A and B are shown apart, each in its own frame.
Chain A
């Protein structure tokens, strides 16, 4: 086996080196496919992350929705009575209301306001994001705000700054000022950077219809539920459903899957990634098949002089693997360099696991694409060297 590998590696390397222009061209095609696959994966991750980041980082296991809202946060309305009922259920460690809406931040020196997700959370309860700078929210009615890292990056706001926010209430634009007391990690929600205010403050400053303006009873969208034992989620879920009327309860992942457009977006991007890999498979397979067709007589001579099929096959496998590895390395480097040029507004996230899966898939398409041509090469008769066939 060692001798087979030595001869194969020798032949493979010599052929690549002496035809480096041709092989480099194929490696560059693989590099471009790598670039495309990694960007699609990063875009999928970025878009998915932009949609689910806040929810996936929640320190809660269950989410209560208004019944028949189909786990859609925007379609759900829950009052504080429900919060009290849920908090009393055995197995619930904590529960917090969450109100979700959007607002425009007026940034000095910029014509365009920054659109952000305005989230009302209960200070000290499930839903309030942990800060990485500054402090958590103070009282329930304070004019304080925690901004996420993306908001800070895109607005230039820092701890202690006062942000001005414009919302539409009824038919009028209202302006509110809030003081930045904390900056959290990335907490995008619905593809927007987020700001977090105390729930009652949120109820005061959120966009409202004319009818809602005079309502005194604050209404949240959902209730976030933290459990004593996350492993008991199914049991507690049933308990909540049996003890609290007119609600439905979902896990975090069910809620994420129900986010408007999330599943369709992810499956579209996954399909695109899959097709790109498939195209890569065809390109590599096609290249090596043409290469072998051009070398039928040469392979025939090699076999006639006593080269085994193992050596012929191993030579091609080594070549395919070398070219694929070189292509993927160039492609990964190009992807990294390109990614440095992208502003934070573009939802591209290079997640280690996703990128690793994409790279492994790319490394596999070479040998897979070459399988047909390797089979063909192994079946070439040495008689071809004499211009004959059996």
Chain B
């Protein structure tokens, strides 16, 4: 891959396999998954419990090494990177929101967001201003100096979204970002998230078990038994799938 050329995909996996040994033989948590996500595209990874979606997310996040296969982030093959390089890659090129324990509890909302800039040695005046503006856009302008314990679940997730985006990563990963939220809050959070991903041209991947949240994404990848079994690529089929499952 020519370093000068902007790769077509922000993230691309090729036949990724993850196997865990067990007393009953090897367990194939991820079985030959190939996917690509373009900058500005928001993709949902769905599937029942044990389908391998969180394992896949961990592999995409460079937190877990695949047993086989290749992963390219911005055209860089992750397999070629050392442990230290992977830490740097996570810090510079990936943004995260997690299901729980998302934020550092002893930092305020704005300090949590600024932490990503601090870690990347980019906390200048402009960065501080950007962190405040982003939080204000997410409706947290009055909560900048609140500790995370003083924020509701939805507000915490929005702070996490701001933290995931503030350092301009290529890839934003969200693990069940609405798991602890009521429906109304969940819709608000995912809609905001999708809006920012599109606007800032990041590649976004969200793991969720709540199919209703898929109405804000551009593509849905369905996993079962470690395999990608179905892909919904247009809005109509996605909405049909959402409504169909919602009626189940």
A341-390, CB < 8 A from B: 381-383, 385-388, 390
Number of A-B contacts (CB under 8 A): 80
Minimum CB distance partner of B84 in chain A = A308
Please tell me if the beta carbons of B98 and A385 are within 8 angstroms of each other in the complex. yes
From known contacts A14-B106, A297-B100, A297-B101, infer whether A307 and B119 are also in contact, taking CB-CB under 8 Å. yes
Query: Which residues of B sit under 8 angstroms from A306, Cβ to Cβ?
Result: 87-88, 90-92, 94, 119-120
Please tell me if the beta carbons of A302 and B104 are within 8 angstroms of each other in the complex. yes
Query: Which residues of A sit under 8 angstroms from B102, Cβ to Cβ?
Result: 301
Minimum CB distance partner of B207 in chain A = A386
Q: Which of B30-38, B52-60, B198-206, B212-220 contacts A (4 or more CB under 8 A)?
A: B52-60
User: How far, in angstroms, from A304 to B105 measured CA to CA in the complex?
Assistant: 16
User: How far, in angstroms, from A173 to B106 measured CA to CA in the complex?
Assistant: 76
Determine how close the nearest CB of chain B comes to the CB of A15; give it in whole angstroms: 4
Please tell me if the beta carbons of B63 and A10 are within 8 angstroms of each other in the complex. no
User: How far, in angstroms, from A288 to B116 measured CA to CA in the complex?
Assistant: 26
Query: Which residues of B sit under 8 angstroms from A388, Cβ to Cβ?
Result: 54-55, 58, 64
Which among A3, A7, A308 is the interface contact of B87 at CB below 8 angstroms? A308
From known contacts A298-B101, A298-B104, infer whether A386 and B119 are also in contact, taking CB-CB under 8 Å. no
User: How far, in angstroms, from A300 to B106 measured CA to CA in the complex?
Assistant: 15
Please tell me if the beta carbons of A383 and B91 are within 8 angstroms of each other in the complex. no
Please tell me if the beta carbons of B54 and A386 are within 8 angstroms of each other in the complex. yes
Query: Which residues of B sit under 8 angstroms from A297, Cβ to Cβ?
Result: 100-101
Query: Which residues of B sit under 8 angstroms from A17, Cβ to Cβ?
Result: 106
From known contacts A306-B92, A385-B98, A388-B58, infer whether A7 and B119 are also in contact, taking CB-CB under 8 Å. yes
User: How far, in angstroms, from A17 to B63 measured CA to CA in the complex?
Assistant: 31
Tell me, yes or no, whether B248 is within 8 Å of chain A by CB: no
Query: Which residues of A sit under 8 angstroms from B147, Cβ to Cβ?
Result: 18
User: How far, in angstroms, from A385 to B100 measured CA to CA in the complex?
Assistant: 8
User: How far, in angstroms, from A77 to B63 measured CA to CA in the complex?
Assistant: 83
User: How far, in angstroms, from A18 to B91 measured CA to CA in the complex?
Assistant: 25
Tell me, yes or no, whether A305 is within 8 Å of chain B by CB: yes
Which among A15, A308, A382 is the interface contact of B63 at CB below 8 angstroms? A382
User: How far, in angstroms, from A99 to B1 measured CA to CA in the complex?
Assistant: 98
Which residue among B57, B58, B64, B104 has the maximum number of chain A CB atoms within 10 Å of its CB?
A: B104
Please tell me if the beta carbons of A386 and B58 are within 8 angstroms of each other in the complex. yes
Determine how close the nearest CB of chain A comes to the CB of B232; give it in whole angstroms: 25
Minimum CB distance partner of A302 in chain B = B104
From known contacts A7-B118, A298-B101, A304-B96, infer whether A390 and B106 are also in contact, taking CB-CB under 8 Å. no
Determine how close the nearest CB of chain A comes to the CB of B235; give it in whole angstroms: 29
On A, residues with C-beta under 8 Å from B are: 3, 6-7, 10-11, 14-15, 17-19, 297-298, 300-308, 311, 381-383, 385-388, 390
| 8 interchain pairs, CB-CB under 8 A | A3-B121, A14-B111, A297-B101, A301-B101, A308-B87, A383-B63, A387-B54, A387-B100
Which 9 pairs, one residue from A and one from B, show the smallest C-beta to C-beta distance? A306-B91, A297-B101, A18-B106, A306-B90, A15-B106, A383-B63, A382-B63, A14-B106, A385-B98
